[in-house]
Amino acid sequence: MKVKQNKDKKNGEKHLSNNIILSIEEYIKENNPNETSVGSGTSFCEWVLYNIFELREDEVIEATEISGKFDNGIDAVFEYNNELCILQSKYNNAHKVDSIHRFISDCKRVVEEPPNTDREAVIKVCRNILETYSKNENINCYYITNNSFSEWERDQFRKPINETIKTHKKLKFYILDFDNILEKMEIKNGGIPREFREKWIKLNIGQNFEDIFETSIVGMVKLKDLADFVEKGGNMLFYSNIRNYLGKDTTINKGIKSTLDQVPEKFWYFNNGITIVCEEFISKNGVVEMHAPQIVNGCQSAKSLWHHFYISKTKSDIKNTQDGYLLVKIIETKKIANDKEKKALRDNITRYTNSQNAVKGLDFYALDEFQRDLRNRLDAFGYYYEIQRGAFITEPSTKQKSYKGHPEYDYLLQNVKSNKKYCLPAKEVLQAFTAGINLRPNIAYGRANELTPFGSEWEKIVNEKTKEMPLENFLFPYLLSKYAKENLGYKPGAEDFRKNSIFLFLSTYYLFITGITNKIKGTTYENPTDIKNTFIFTNIFKSAQLNIQLMEITHDILSSFFEDSTIEDEIGDNRKGFVQNKMKRSSKFWNILERKVERAVTNTEPKTIFKDIKKIINEEL
């Protein structure tokens, strides 16, 4: 049985490896049609940012602003898990061992001195790097290639890295080849890092019992024994816990610290305990030995205990804490067939047992129930909803090809060259929804990081009302954005207002439709959501000719808006900042946009397009 499992795993790795290679090649072909070496390198860098670091499109654009002439050997700079990252990527023959040596030297230089360049984008990014390093914060330096390193190559860059980190302790180097890329994609597919998969770790356990299925064990564990367990396992114990360790100064961890310092014997009463998932466990004589354990709930407690015993306490302090206990539940997964099912179990345990702490960022994004429901609904509609960026690549090719979208809306994707055209990234779907249906382009563009569970904007965007909305409210804005980018030029490379205005385009489109509806029905709707029946939107979208006309009028409205003297004076040379900070509901600039929309509605009234929409509305009535 084990031989078959190993064979299946190798076959799975081979399929995934082929999928990754194909995905990289397809992305480069789509984005570098002239097949230049520079274009291939740029495209590979973007692929890495999208699929390894899971950045949004706007984040990728911002991250790669430094790339180009006098870029100081840096392809991208961005934040990942709240730490600054520097990236150098090398595609195919561009990779050499000397390139790694230069990258190490470049990283040392940019944290020590300003760049020698007149490019504002480079100056701005390098200033941020210098400031971050001066604050004694970590900077993660990634060199990534699609080549595979030989052992000789690894020997060549280990020494200079070890020498560098002696003098530059806050520089953390990660030199990744294709095998590392494969491993990161395996993790998206449900696995845990290879270096941890075969580890067994022991935990001393007191009074305990196993369930009748012999798949879990619950017991009392001494606080010091749990701290020893964390010391042995290190951060790998928390790989599956998206919440991760918040740090000892958070409110909940201060509470844990207070209990440990003052009344450790009451820890049992005050703490909910921890949950550990492992491949399998062996319990014997008061010791549980676990294969590849992962703490999926109670990360804060576990890390706080480790910090208490191994970092902050003297021997006498530790002696006074010996009598404390906490509850530990251990669950094994070896009877589950594959990595995906095991990951689903870990995710569900995490989702159902973590509810007490409000954590900002991307926490719980992949576990959010609404996101999962939306994925299932879009799947039935012919679209792959990619909650975790890069997950589509891990799917079998037969499943990838099974997504064909909705034929009546295919015209909106007609110029999208990507083979992933029916794969919808969750973050970008929610950005489009926020801009179109919620009419908040400034949030979608400037504060998208807050559009995540526990982000400050999440409950305003995703709430009970949202969950009752029709699927079209999430699908249509995204499809509109794809059409506007590919057919109307709302891309980063545009040389006019379209460069920064894709989300404003979506808001304007929905304002326009709402205005026409009001004109025909005699209503005073202020929001697209006031139009309760999606019959109007659905039939507009099913009529390609009608909808394309509406989008062209929307483009004309925006063109007129940006030509308005009040808007021109306000923007100056900072259109990006204008959209991010000024385009809010009820602002004087928003009022100008609404007036432009009202004028467009009036001008449309004598035209055939108005009659076509009126016919749709009358059918709905």
Q: Which of 188, 214, 234 represents a domain boundary (last residue)? A: 188
3 state DSSP class of 378: helix
The H or E element containing residue 221 is strand 216-222
d(CA 537, CA 245): 45
**Tokens coding 195:** 């270096």
Please give the model's pTM, rounded to 2 decimal places: 0.77
d(CA 172, CA 268): 38
The reply to whether 361 falls in a domain is no
Range of the domain at 133: 2-188
The reply to whether 20 falls in a domain is yes
d(CA 219, CA 325): 10
140-172 pLDDT, tens per residue? 999 999 999 999 999 999 999 999 999 999 999
pLDDT confidence tier of residue 251, bands split at 50, 70 and 90:
very low
Task: Verify that 182 and 202 share a domain, yes or no.
Answer: no
Q: Is 404 exposed, middle or buried (0-12, 13-18, 19+ CB in 10 A)?
A: exposed
74-92 pLDDT, tens per residue? 999 999 877 899 999 999 9
β-partners of residue 425 are 386
Range scoring the smallest mean pLDDT among 192-201, 217-226, 249-258: 249-258
The reply to whether 363 falls in a domain is no
What is the average pLDDT across 319-347? 74
Q: Is 119 exposed, middle or buried (0-12, 13-18, 19+ CB in 10 A)?
A: middle
Task: Verify that 343 and 380 share a domain, yes or no.
Answer: no
Residue 301: Cβ within 10 Å count: 24
Residue 518: Cβ within 10 Å count: 17
**Tokens coding 408:** 């009546």
Task: Verify that 379 and 446 share a domain, yes or no.
Answer: yes
pLDDT at 359: 34
Q: In this model, does residue 11 exceed pLDDT 70?
A: no
**Tokens coding 1:** 């049985």
Task: Verify that 153 and 53 share a domain, yes or no.
Answer: yes
Task: Verify that 497 and 404 share a domain, yes or no.
Answer: yes
Could you report how far apart the first and last alpha carbons of the chain are, in Å?
A: 63
Task: Verify that 108 and 86 share a domain, yes or no.
Answer: yes
Contact 405, 476 (CB under 8 A): no
Q: In this model, does residue 253 exceed pLDDT 70?
A: no
274-307 pLDDT, tens per residue? 999 888 999 999 999 999 998 888 888 898 888 8
Cα 164–chain centre separation: 31
Contact 329, 275 (CB under 8 A): yes
Task: Verify that 183 and 87 share a domain, yes or no.
Answer: yes
d(CA 146, CA 74): 17
The reply to whether 179 falls in a domain is yes
* CATH number of the structural domain spanning residue 87: 3.40.91
The reply to whether 359 falls in a domain is no
The reply to whether 360 falls in a domain is no
d(CA 196, CA 239): 10
Task: Verify that 387 and 525 share a domain, yes or no.
Answer: yes
The H or E element containing residue 209 is strand 208-210
d(CA 601, CA 590): 17
Q: Go through 459-479 and write b for each residue having 16 or more CB atoms within 10 A of its CB, e for each that does not.
A: eebbeeebeeeeebbbbbbbb
Task: Verify that 422 and 301 share a domain, yes or no.
Answer: no
Task: Verify that 169 and 204 share a domain, yes or no.
Answer: no
Query: What percent of the chain has pLDDT above 90?
Result: 57
Contact 141, 172 (CB under 8 A): yes
pLDDT confidence tier of residue 541, bands split at 50, 70 and 90:
very high
Q: Which of 124, 153, 188 represents a domain boundary (last residue)? A: 188
The reply to whether 181 falls in a domain is yes
Domains: count for the chain: 3
Instruction: Please tell me which residue, 337 or 333, carries the higher pLDDT value.
Output: 333
Instruction: Please tell me which residue, 272 or 105, carries the higher pLDDT value.
Output: 105
Task: Verify that 140 and 203 share a domain, yes or no.
Answer: no
What is the average pLDDT across 379-387? 94
pLDDT at 448: 78
What is the average pLDDT across 534-551? 94
**Tokens coding 340:** 């995906």
**How many Cα atoms occupy the beta-carbon half-sphere of 368 within 13 Å?**
23
d(CA 106, CA 73): 6
d(CA 102, CA 94): 13
Q: Could you tell me the CA-to-CA distances from 544 to 103, 199, 508, 541, 549 in Å, in that order? A: 50, 57, 19, 6, 9
DSSP code per residue over 389-437:
TTGGGGS-HHHHHH----GGGGGGGTT---TTTTEEEHHHHHHHHHHHT
pLDDT at 358: 33
pLDDT at 3: 44
pLDDT confidence tier of residue 4, bands split at 50, 70 and 90:
very low
Q: Which of 172, 188, 204 represents a domain boundary (last residue)? A: 188
**Tokens coding 350:** 């995490």
Average pLDDT of the chain is: 86
pLDDT at 348: 67
Task: Verify that 437 and 558 share a domain, yes or no.
Answer: yes
d(CA 412, CA 551): 11
Q: Is 151 exposed, middle or buried (0-12, 13-18, 19+ CB in 10 A)?
A: exposed
